[in-house]
Amino acid sequence: MALTIQKYDAVVVGAGGAGMRCALQLARAGLHVAVLSKVFPTRSHTVAAQGGIGASLGNMEEDNWHYHFYDTVKGGDWLGDQDAIEFMCREAPKVVYELEHMGMPFDRNPDGTIYQRPFGGHSAKYGEKPVPRACAAADRTGHAMLHTLYQQNVRSNTQFFVEWMALDLIRDAEGDVVGITALEMETGEVSIFHAKCVLFATGGAGRIFAASTNAYINTGDGLGMAARAGVPLEDMEFWQFHPTGVHNAGVLLTEGCRGEGAILRNKDGERFMERYAPHLKDLAPRDFVSRCMDQEIKEGRGCGPNRDYIELDLTHLGAETIMKRLPSVHEIGINFANVDVIREPIPVVPTIHYQMGGIPTNIHGQVVVPKNGNPSTVVNGFYAIGECSCVSVHGANRLGTNSLLDLLVFGRAAGDHLIATALSSKAHKPLPADAGDYSLARIAKLDSASGGEYPQDVANDLRRTMQTHAGVFRTQKSMDEGLVKVLAIAERAEHLSLKDKSKVFNTARVEALEVANLMEAAKATMTSAAARHESRGAHTVDDYGDTPEHPLGRNDRDWLRHTLWFSEGNRLEYKPVQMKPLTVDSIPPVKRTF
Amino acid sequence: MADKRIFEIYRYDPDRDAKPYMQTFEIELEGTERMLLDALMKLKKLDDSIAYRRSCREGVCGSDAMNINGKNGLACLTNMRTLPQKITLRPLPGLPVVRDLIVDMSQFFKQYHSIKPYVVNDTPPPAKERLQSQEDREVLNGLYECILCACCSTACPSFWWNPDKFVGPAGLLAAYRFVADTRDQARDERLDNLEDPYRLFRCHTIMNCTDVCPKGLNPARAIVKLKDMIATRKG
């Protein structure tokens, strides 16, 4: 069947913070660009980010990018690539100022500068004390940023394809990326987008877990497409549990609560973080705080009738501060916990929040894979940025506020690099003759299948399995069992069927296509996790505990390296961590205390 | 705890149906379905053909706006305890239906785009941020938080009558957001753009917009301020 072919200089998949920052760069340069999104751009998950954007503006107290760099390396438990981290932290002030010039409604200080609040793991003088580094618009920073970026794209006439779901990458015989296939949800038609460059900004796969702060759309579509096209996924064992998801609801309460002074308490009312992190206390990095909370619960000091949650106490902040700085937190408390945070503490538990791993890239956003002995060979025509990518600035644990920063810095950088690439190649590489066949076959299979399982039943089983076997505390046995179960569920996911066969806005079909992507992300996570025999950052395994040789279970001799997972054969390779920054001295690994 | 509910849902799939109809579902909820969206998802497990939009499930993305027992709202912020046993769901009124609870929002976004929804400031920016006083920034509160869910505009009779000519409450709230921003330099053009019997002055202060806004915003007040500014600027 002949598909409609649309030709562009570049195709951007995803219109969240990263995709729209990049698209803006491309539109301003006059490139012919299509931006595809499953949802209207301002519905992308960036909209839910609350606390702030990390940048060492120093508006409140003395700060500089060296401190930010150090905090990010240490926060990531030394798995982050130090060249990329240096690049991000140095660029940070510039991209924040740019965003302000675009009209971002940042909160302000009395002198008119951008307001900044403290955040987990961000410190002055190399860990000495918390420093206010998170540039904030109340607790709606992501919303304000996403809308500002959309507005600027409207001004620059960016061409959006709204409610188009990308299906598969198109690679030619040489492995170069020459386009994608995509489904227009309103009509059910599949088209080919033929491009000199394809950039993925498709977000994370947080919906592989049962309890997640993530939006329902976060199904790892970019990861699925990359994995099916033979591109490996990097460091997928590292998933961040945010310390403060609303108990039984999963909805996020920003770390900005603690940045403004909120305290975590156990059933005795004790501020237990003082015991675990004497310097940063409640503002230690997320992996650390989440483990401490879990430890309190495990040792019987959880709150409530079942002793199964921790309380986040904001009551001493006062109504004025809460309503000014944390109005959404107040709203969420009422809506999702029946709690007025001005008057009483709110029940929270560590909840899946962020995927540190993703499609491997360099600092220009170019996708890199192992080839002929070089672990980082560029895949021509293919870029990835934001949560779907792994550059890697977050290492084994991301610091709060570094995600919005990541979107801005690498959205801009990839945009600039892509412009140069696209302009230097005059002609499009030809499409392979069978481009589109694979996607059409996947859809035809769904349309003709009957008697198979309902996609959400399979997805829900997957989510429960991931929750049980890849949680805050992992054991080798549990991960090994989890891997067997996930592979069995993957088998079931091959046999889905839909009752709804309509062409028009068939959301059941979209959900089934999403399940295929969830499966790749989950297999990558479970396989990579079971193979990493150490504790590092968010990957904490009971079997690998604190010893003199391996402080806190981290084994730098054997495991200071990035995982690369390949879908074909469910196979792993490894590549070295870039310990050398661009211009400054490397920060050598030490035991991680706060 | 068993909780029996009756859903009456507007159904229309142009691929199959000659015309729209209301379909009734009876469902036993378990009590764990806190919000209407949770109940809808449970219903979708029984009939995967029910089509609606959803994403963040916490009231910030604006996807799941619909008409709930006659009033526009977000499914994810509508607590099941606030709803009677029988729940009637229709698509947002006044926009073309694509399928079931999904409407074509093109006209809504066209009006939003028509007010030039971006800060215009063509003076070269400083090396750092443009300064803004806390008081000037505070004026933007209640304006910038709009999630473009369209609950307000599709509850407005003036928008129903003239969706092509009247900007509607969401667009006008945004227009005031940029007029009020001290960093913006296009105030006069913005007001010129609205000085028209339809674009702004079709608002008859019916107040449905403010009544239904799921974020507690007040488009009606922003509209009054715009009208005042236009009335007084030539005086």
Q: What is the pLDDT of residues B12-21, one digit of tens each?
A: 999 999 999 9
CA dihedral sign, ordered B39, B41, B46, B47:
positive
What would the pLDDT profile of A287-318 be if each residue is shown by its tens digit?
999 999 999 999 999 999 999 999 999 999 99
- CA–centroid distance for A95 within its chain: 19
User: What are the residues whose beta carbons fall under 8 Å from the beta carbon of A96, sequence distance 6 or more?
Assistant: A53, A55, A57, A114, A135, A405, A408, B129
Residue A90 pLDDT level (bands cut at 50, 70, 90): very high
Task: Give chain A positions within 8 Å (CB) of B119.
Answer: 102-103, 151
| Contact at CB, B131 and A113, closer than 8 angstroms | yes
Nearest to A152 among B45, B118, B129 (CB): B118
Least confident of A364-368, A390-394, A420-424: A420-424
Which site among B48, B108, B111 would you substitute to test the A interface, given the most A Cβ atoms closer than 10 Å to its Cβ?
A: B48
Q: How far apart are CA A33 and CA A37, in angstroms?
A: 13
Task: Give chain B positions within 8 Å (CB) of A202.
Answer: none
Secondary structure tally for chain A: helices H, strands E: 16, 22
Q: What is the mean pLDDT of residues A517-543?
A: 97
| Contact at CB, B125 and A111, closer than 8 angstroms | no
Q: β-strands B3-11, B86-90: how paired?
A: parallel
Nearest to A505 by CA among B220, B100, B235: B100
Closest residue in A to B44 (Cα) is A508
Angle subtended at Cα A120 by Cα A119 and Cα A125, rounded to the nearest 5 degrees: 85
Q: How far apart are CA A470 and CA A541, in angstroms?
A: 10
Q: Could you tell me which residues are beta bridge partners of residue B97?
A: B103
Which site among B60, B74, B102 would you substitute to test the A interface, given the most A Cβ atoms closer than 10 Å to its Cβ?
A: B60
| Contact at CB, A502 and B49, closer than 8 angstroms | yes
Closest residue in B to A107 (Cα) is B137
Task: Give chain B positions within 8 Å (CB) of A137.
Answer: 144
Task: Give chain B positions within 8 Å (CB) of A101.
Answer: 121, 125, 129-130
In this model, does residue B1 exceed pLDDT 90?
no
- Identify the residue whose tokens are 């579509």: A221
Residue B32 pLDDT level (bands cut at 50, 70, 90): confident
Buried b (16+ CB within 10 A) or exposed e, A560-582: bbbbbbbbeeeebebbebbbebe
Query: How many Å lie between the alpha carbon of A194 and the closest alpha carbon of chain B?
Result: 26
For residue A424, the model assigns a pLDDT of 84
Buried b (16+ CB within 10 A) or exposed e, B111-121: bbeebbbbbbb
User: What are the residues whose beta carbons fall under 8 Å from the beta carbon of A180, sequence distance 6 or more?
Assistant: A11, A13, A36, A166, A167, A168, A169, A170, A192, A193, A195, A198, A225
| Contact at CB, B129 and A506, closer than 8 angstroms | no
What would the pLDDT profile of A487-511 be if each residue is shown by its tens digit?
999 999 999 999 999 999 999 999 9
In this model, does residue A1 exceed pLDDT 60?
no
Nearest to B131 among A102, A112, A249 (CB): A112
Task: Give chain A positions within 8 Å (CB) of B137.
Answer: 105-108
Q: What is the mean pLDDT of residues B193-216?
A: 97
- Cis peptide bond upstream of A376, omega within 30: no
| Contact at CB, A143 and B145, closer than 8 angstroms | yes
Question: Amino acid identity of A531?
Answer: A
Instruction: Give backbone dihedrals phi and psi of B35, rounded to 5 degrees, phi first.
Output: -110, 165
Query: In the Cβ-directed half-sphere of A250, how many Cα atoms lie within 13 Å?
Result: 17
Residue B233 pLDDT level (bands cut at 50, 70, 90): confident
Task: Give chain B positions within 8 Å (CB) of A454.
Answer: 45, 48
Query: How many Å lie between the alpha carbon of B121 and the closest alpha carbon of chain A?
Result: 8
8 Å CB contact between B78 and B164: no
Q: Touching check for B214 and chain A: CB below 8 Å?
A: no
Q: How far apart are CA B180 and CA B225, in angstroms?
A: 10
Query: In the Cβ-directed half-sphere of A475, how many Cα atoms lie within 13 Å?
Result: 4
Buried b (16+ CB within 10 A) or exposed e, A432-465: eeebbeebeebbeebeeeeebbbbbebbebbbeb
| Contact at CB, B118 and A336, closer than 8 angstroms | no
Least confident of A96-100, B2-6, B102-106: B2-6
Q: What is the mean pLDDT of chain A?
A: 96
Nearest to A233 by CA among A469, A552, A565: A565
- Identify the residue whose tokens are 């009231």: B59
Closest residue in B to A335 (Cα) is B77
For residue A426, the model assigns a pLDDT of 81
Residue B31 pLDDT level (bands cut at 50, 70, 90): confident
What would the pLDDT profile of A326-381 be if each residue is shown by its tens digit?
999 999 999 999 999 999 999 999 999 999 999 999 999 999 999 999 999 999 99
CA dihedral sign, ordered A396, A401, A407, A410:
negative
Buried b (16+ CB within 10 A) or exposed e, B77-87: bbebeeeeeeb
For residue A389, the model assigns a pLDDT of 98
Q: What is the mean pLDDT of residues B30-58?
A: 95
What would the pLDDT profile of A5-16 be if each residue is shown by its tens digit?
999 999 999 999
Question: Does residue A114 sit in helix, strand or coil?
Answer: strand
Nearest to A215 among B14, B57, B132 (CB): B57
What would the pLDDT profile of A549-594 be if each residue is shown by its tens digit?
999 999 999 999 999 999 999 999 999 999 999 999 999 999 998 9
Least confident of A31-40, A401-410, A422-431: A422-431
| Contact at CB, A45 and B132, closer than 8 angstroms | no
What would the pLDDT profile of A122-169 be if each residue is shown by its tens digit?
999 999 999 999 999 999 999 999 999 999 999 999 999 999 999 999
Residues 72-131 of B with CB under 8 A from A: 77, 79, 98-100, 102, 105, 109, 113, 116-119, 121, 125, 127-131
Q: Touching check for B201 and chain A: CB below 8 Å?
A: no
Nearest to A43 among B55, B58, B144 (CB): B55
- Identify the residue whose tokens are 């590489």: A429
Q: What is the DSSP letter of A429?
A: P
8 Å CB contact between A404 and A17: yes
Query: How many Å lie between the alpha carbon of B114 and the closest alpha carbon of chain A?
Result: 10
Q: How far apart are CA A416 and CA B61, in angstroms?
A: 29
- Identify the residue whose tokens are 């410190």: A123
- Tell me how crowded residue B96 is: count the other CB atoms within 10 A of its CB: 11
Closest residue in B to A111 (Cα) is B133
Q: What is the mean pLDDT of chain B?
A: 96
| Contact at CB, A108 and B132, closer than 8 angstroms | yes
Catalytic positions of A, written as ranges: 286
Task: Give chain B positions within 8 Å (CB) of A40.
Answer: 63, 105, 109, 148
For residue B234, the model assigns a pLDDT of 67
Nearest to B13 among A39, A336, A504 (CB): A504
8 Å CB contact between A21 and A415: yes
Q: What is the ipTM of this complex?
A: 0.98
8 Å CB contact between B223 and B169: yes
% of chain A residues with pLDDT over 90 = 97
Q: What is the DSSP letter of A3?
A: P
User: What are the residues whose beta carbons fall under 8 Å from the beta carbon of A292, sequence distance 6 or more?
Assistant: A272, A273, A276, A277, A284
Secondary structure tally for chain B: helices H, strands E: 8, 7
Task: Give chain A positions within 8 Å (CB) of B23.
Answer: none
Instruction: Give backbone dihedrals phi and psi of B196, rounded to 5 degrees, phi first.
Output: -165, 140
8 Å CB contact between A427 and A475: no
Task: Give chain B positions within 8 Å (CB) of A108.
Answer: 132-134, 136-137
Closest residue in A to B63 (Cα) is A43
What would the pLDDT profile of A212-268 be if each residue is shown by its tens digit?
999 999 999 999 999 999 999 999 999 999 999 999 999 999 999 999 999 999 999
8 Å CB contact between B146 and A144: no
Nearest to B99 among A106, A498, A505 (CB): A505
Name the pTM for this structure.
0.97
For residue A354, the model assigns a pLDDT of 98
Q: Touching check for B181 and chain A: CB below 8 Å?
A: yes
- CA–centroid distance for A551 within its chain: 27
Q: How far apart are CA A110 and CA A475, in angstroms?
A: 51
